[in-house]
Amino acid sequence: MLDREPYAGLPELPVFELSSQDIADGQPLPQAQVAGQDVSPQLSWSGAPEGTRSYVVTAFDPDAPTPSGYWHWALSNIPADVTSLETGAAANPPEGSTRHRADGGSEAFEGAAPPPGHGPHRYIFCVTAVDTDHLDVEGASPAVLNFNLFFHGIGRAFLTGTHEEK
């Protein structure tokens, strides 16, 4: 398992399980999750803490050559009875969920696109269990969404893929 230091300064939360039929933890991402194809991976989670009332899903590259990393995907207000997203769900999210603009400007999934020669980048997929049915974050950036999770997150699940452009 790769280091998750972007989350190190946040409150420790119980960890639950996150898996995918498309990506494997610590392994290179398939071409479908790379820029140009931009297909969000299938994700399934289980074991969220009691009191979970909704979920947030994000994809983050902490290795992007910026002071703030790069947000590739953010989806909030996913109903608590949803515990998986099919491949490509970013384009057609669950009813009631809220899409957020990724750093490239799209509300869909933006595939991995590290600068050529910059080395391998990590793409951290995180599912956060939330203690409320609805976060009032419509139109918010992924950073503001995650700031709200400081107050409402009650558990996290991680899955990290990698990608490098030579």
Could you tell me the residue ranges of all domains in the chain? 17-163
2 pLDDT band, cuts 50/70/90, is: very low
Question: HEC profile for the chain?
Answer: CCCCHHHCCCCCCCECEEECCCCCCCCECCHHHECCCCCCCCEEEECCCCCCCEEEEEEEECCCCCCCCEEEEEEEEEECCCCEECCCHHHCCCCCCEECCCCCCCCCCCCECCCCCCCCEEEEEEEEEECCCCCCCCCCCHHHHHHHHHHHEEEEEEEEEEECCC
Instruction: Reply yes or no on whether the pLDDT at 3 is more than 80.
Output: no
- Global confidence as pTM: 0.96
pLDDT over 90 percentage in the chain = 92
Instruction: Reply yes or no on whether the pLDDT at 4 is more than 80.
Output: no
The CATH classification number of 17-163 equals 3.90.280.10
